[in-house]
Structure 1
């Protein structure tokens, strides 16, 4: 029986990747690092800031990585004031509430970003269970963030469905044993399938999603 829906944040609740790309580009131009779509997809999307800045600025010490990460996140929050929930998300959350299905957030983003984005999207009260990067070590692609959410929800992996947009997030969800949908805001359907997604959707209106959810909710 379906008891919970567990969501990643960036690229899943909201198509925020273009804003993240812009923030990385602005902050890293001082180091002569050009952030384009290819770099964003291969070295940034879904990864922790620790891993991102170690990869992009290997010549700098960890302390400077942390300083750049803080600057990048502050820049992102400044830029991300007009984002809207991904199409169909609000209807899905309403359906979950009406059916007594819990919802949770699992993100590699820091707490400041999670609070900011949920406020901007008008979703601050919709996610009673939230797991951010400060609360778990390691983050995705390790399954620990999802295992932590399952523990807090008080359910088993087979009783939940996860939504992810990145390779690291999908690998984390699948390693935790969850049936998982890939949200196609950054990857293609084939790319999602290759990293283990059970299904792929463009928006939360997709019929393929609702067929699964309604079946599992009725089981």
Structure 2
């Protein structure tokens, strides 16, 4: 019996990957580096610190993380109110809530950006458990974010299920001994997930895998 659903945020609940990429391209341009869509597969699923380290190594940047992350955060927050949910995601989220299933958010984003996403999607609640990269020592693919969420919910790994759009996040939940539903953006992305993850390809399939009635969407 599923007692809780642990949702990833970026790309899973919110269509925010393009905004993260926009802030990265702007930050690189600020330091004289022209970049575009080719950066997305290089940074997909990584933490802000990991992206910063990658850019320093790849482009020879000397900017420190504090300045880099502040610029990216400001750019993100300026645009966050216009964020939209991934098609079908909030319908499944609300159906699970109506069914009485506890839900939590487990993200690799900073607390500031995660809160902005929650506001944009309209799912802020005082009781909602949410884990940001600021709440753990190690972000995904470490199991720590998922382990912490389960601990806060007072549940065992066997009692929860994780929903992820990235292989990085899926590996984190699998390492935490949780069942994982992989909801990739396309068929090409589906092939990158660990074999332990169950791939779903639509909101309807996601709802069914969560034990929800698709008619409730």
Deviation, structure 1 residue 136: 0.1
In structure 1, C-alpha distance between the alignment counterparts of 2:189 and 2:127, rounded to whole Å: 28
Deviation, structure 1 residue 114: 1.0
* Between 171-180 and 76-85, the greater mean CA deviation after superposition: 76-85
- What's 1:209 paired with? 206
1:88-167 correspondence to structure 2 within 5 Å: 88-125=88-125, 128-167=128-167
Deviation, structure 1 residue 127: 6.5
- What's 1:52 paired with? 51
Unpaired runs of at least 5, structure 1? none
- What's 1:191 paired with? 192
Query: TM-score normalized by structure 2?
Result: 0.87
Deviations 1:98-130 (A, max 9, x none): 322110011111111111111111111287101
- What's 1:11 paired with? 11
Aligned alpha-carbon RMSD (Å): 2.1
- What's 1:40 paired with? 40
Query: TM-score normalized by structure 1?
Result: 0.86
Q: Is the Cα contact below 8 Å between 2:55 and 2:61 reproduced in 1?
A: no
Change (3 A) 1:213 1:72: same
Q: Is the Cα contact below 8 Å between 1:10 and 1:16 reproduced in 2?
A: yes
In structure 2, C-alpha distance between the alignment counterparts of 1:152 and 1:164, rounded to whole Å: 20
Secondary structure at the residue paired with 1:188? helix
1:75-86 correspondence to structure 2 within 5 Å: 75-86=75-86
Change (3 A) 1:35 1:173: farther
Deviation, structure 1 residue 79: 2.0
Between the two proteins, the alignment pairs up a number of residues equal to 209
- What's 1:74 paired with? 74
- What's 1:21 paired with? 21
In structure 1, C-alpha distance between the alignment counterparts of 2:126 and 2:34, rounded to whole Å: 37
Q: Is the Cα contact below 8 Å between 1:158 and 1:179 reproduced in 2?
A: yes
In structure 2, C-alpha distance between the alignment counterparts of 1:28 and 1:53, rounded to whole Å: 10
* Between 137-146 and 125-134, the greater mean CA deviation after superposition: 125-134
* Between 114-123 and 32-41, the greater mean CA deviation after superposition: 32-41
Unpaired runs of at least 5, structure 2? 213-217
